[in-house]
Amino acid sequence: MKSNVLNKPLSLCGALLSLVIASFAFAASDVDLQQSPEVSATVEGQIKMPKQQERMALNYVNQPPMIPHSIDGYQVTKNTNRCLQCHGVESYRTTGAPRISPTHFMDSDGKVLGEVAPRRYFCLQCHVPQTDAAPIIGNDFKPMPGFGQ
């Protein structure tokens, strides 16, 4: 009969990890965000994104472009992807939105597919709405020369 002695430290570690994560989430919710006139706070800790804004410059090579518009209510699930309604191969010509990159049609082996590759389908894994809200944690990041302007 196996002893449960080995399982107790693992469950204790899991409980401690949960406590640490919860404390970070609680601390982050108390941060006072500095806001520009275009960005306004809605509910404490949430930022209301402007409807549309100019695209921000990239800061480094191969940086995923940021989203220059609100994505409130956008649905990206395994069955539907609201982003492709404007940025898809067939729709970008009529909407004026930037076309989805050809790299998004390659699988992990470099094989070109007829539709967006599964690993690139969930746009919000890499592309985020842009805002000029103050960072929650300060940093000294500087864009590569020639970028971020």
What are φ and ψ of residue 67, in 5° steps?
-85, 120
Is residue 59 within 8 A of residue 144, CB to CB? The reply is: yes
The tally of domains found in the chain comes to: 1
The strand pair at 47-48 and 40-41 is best described as: antiparallel
Q: What is the pLDDT of residues 18-77, one digit of tens each?
A: 655 655 554 444 434 333 344 444 444 555 555 567 777 888 888 899 898 888 888 889
Question: Distance (Å, rounded) from C-alpha 118 to C-alpha 149?
Answer: 33
Residue 85 lies in a domain: yes
Secondary structure letter of residue 95 according to DSSP: H
Residue 18 lies in a domain: no
Assign residue 110 the CATH number of its domain.
1.10.1130.10
Residue 37 lies in a domain: no
* Residue positions forming the annotated binding site for heme c: 69, 83, 86-87, 104, 123, 126-127
Residue 138 lies in a domain: yes
Using CA of residue 123, residue 125, residue 126, residue 130, what is the dihedral sign? positive
Residue 42 lies in a domain: no
Structural domain boundaries, residue 121: 66-148
pTM, whole model, 2 decimals?
0.57
* Residue positions forming the annotated binding site: 69, 83, 86-87, 104, 123, 126-127
Residue 39 lies in a domain: no
Burial class (CB in 10 A: 0-12, 13-18, 19+), 49: buried
Residue 95 lies in a domain: yes
Q: What is the pLDDT of residues 84-114, one digit of tens each?
A: 999 999 899 999 899 999 999 999 999 999 9
